[in-house]
Amino acid sequence: MKAMIIGGGFVGHHLAKHLTESCHWETVLTKLPQETISIPGCEAYNLDILDQDAIQALLVRYRPDVIFHLAAQSSVAYSWKNPQMTVDVNIRGSLNVLDAIRAIEGYTPRVLLIGSGEEYGVLPQGTSLVDETVPVHPGNPYAITKATQNLFGTLYAKAYGMQTVMIRAFNHVGPGQAQQFVVSDFCKQAAEISAGVRAPEIFVGNLSAARDFTDVRDVVRAYALLAEHGRAGETYNVGSGTAVVIRDLLDQIIRQSGMEIRVTVDPKKLRSVEVPVIRADITKLARDTSWKPEIALEQTIEETLAYWRSRVKGETEEKTHG
Ligand code: A2R
Ligand code: GDD
């Protein structure tokens, strides 16, 4: 199997490792020119998804059997600050990928379009567990772009017979994630406190929301299985099936850090609109792939704390020794 991963971010990195090391698929990855990523056995190419001709040229050259489209502006918080850029990358960029594939005659690869659990948005009173049939009510600019990507992917499967499989990924976490996402954010602050470069105070946003967290290494296993067994034209939730209140997540991180830490709400971290609870019904994913999550949140937190401790230590030493 020949795979191409479009988007060399957090998940792209873990997916490339999984496909090369565990699945033994011939894999290439695309990244932005300013990004550095090095996975043994996986060649990396520069690609901006706003350039449809460049996407097409790379596809003609490599002709992958499976395309994982992950490139995106992936932050809900940032999408409030820059909705136009989020629309450009997440809608026009995704459409560029789909149209580049469609323009190549006789070419029908499997295409996984990675969307978000955020697409569901605010649910009817009393509902928190969502399956793929629940109508979407996106509650932020990012979620609107991902819901649109899903609609295009579904439409192109029907209209052109494309082998698209749409994913709604719930919160994925683990070592290597950027600091703007909640688990990384709290673990980085805890690591800085333990290194003595920050006072024992963690700044937080809305602690009452509840989210469905899955370790990124479990998530990429699900993506590889769906590439083989997912039904074309259909949508799959990928999540753990359980929701954790952010306050409990914070308590767990503080407990695992082994320190006394004060918690302060930073109003700048509160969002204009916030979906209160999101939890994935993963019956369809389990039925079609037999996937289930294997890594407990406790282990993910432990490894994410270790990742940030080592990064903060490296950065502190670099500052000290110039
Ligand atoms: O924004 P950057 O510099 O971190 O780069 C991101 C990259 N990206 C692009 N790649 C190609 N052409 C573009 N015009 C473009 N704009 C942004 O896509 C980043 O390296 C990558 C997305 O990775 P992350 O932000 O680390 O997200 P993550 O957690 O890996 O999520 C993967 C997928 C995304 O579609 C999310 O929206 C979804 O899963 O939840
Ligand atoms: N980042 C952050 N920092 N979030 C906080 C904080 C804080 O200090 N305090 C509370 N939160 C809450 C947010 O308000 C939100 O309810 C929840 O923690 C998770 O926030 P993020 O980790 O920033 O992720 P997200 O849910 O907005 O988006 C992530 O998950 C989506 C799938 O559900 C991203 O990975 C998206 O790309 C992905 O689609």
- If you take atom 17 of ligand 1, which residue's CA is the nearest one? 72
Mean pLDDT of the chain: 96
Helix (H) and strand (E) counts in the chain? 11, 15
DSSP string, 28-77: EEEE-TT----BTTBEEEE--TT-HHHHHHHHHHH--SEEEE--S---HH
Structure-token pair, residue 172 = 């994925």
d(CA 156, CA 151): 9
7 CA distance to ligand 1 middle (Å)? 6
- At 228, the pLDDT band (50, 70, 90 cuts) reads very high
Which residue's entry shows tokens 């946003």?
205
Question: What is the pLDDT averaged over residues 314-318?
Answer: 85
pLDDT-derived band at 54 (thresholds 50, 70, 90) equals: very high
Query: What does the pLDDT average to over 130-154?
Result: 96
pLDDT value of residue 108: 97
The β-bridge relationship of strands 244-245 and 210-211 is antiparallel
Closest-lying ligand 2 atom to the alpha carbon of residue 177: 35
What percent of the chain stands above pLDDT 70? 100
Q: What is the pLDDT, as a whole number, of residue 11?
A: 98
Which residue has its alpha carbon closest to ligand 2 atom 24?
A: 181
With the most atoms of ligand 1 within 8 angstroms of its CB, the residue from 30, 31, 32, 55 to mutate is: 32
* Mean pLDDT across 129-135: 94
Interval 259-276: pLDDT, tens: 999 999 999 999 877 888
Answer whether 154's CB lies under 8 Å from 219's CB: no
Residue pair 20/43 in contact (Cβ under 8 Å)? The answer is no
Q: Cα(11)–Cα(219) distance, rounded to whole angstroms?
A: 8
Ligand 2: residues with CB < 6 A are: 74, 76-77, 116-118, 169-171, 180-182, 185, 204-207, 209, 211, 246, 269, 271, 274
Q: How confident is the model over 94-99, as a mean pLDDT?
A: 98
Question: What pLDDT shows up at residue 322?
Answer: 66
Enumerate residues 6+ apart whose C-beta is below 8 A from 168. Answer: 115, 116, 117, 119, 120, 132, 146, 150, 235, 236, 237, 238, 280
Q: Which amino acid is at 312?
A: V
pLDDT tens digits for range 291-314: 999 999 999 999 999 999 999 999
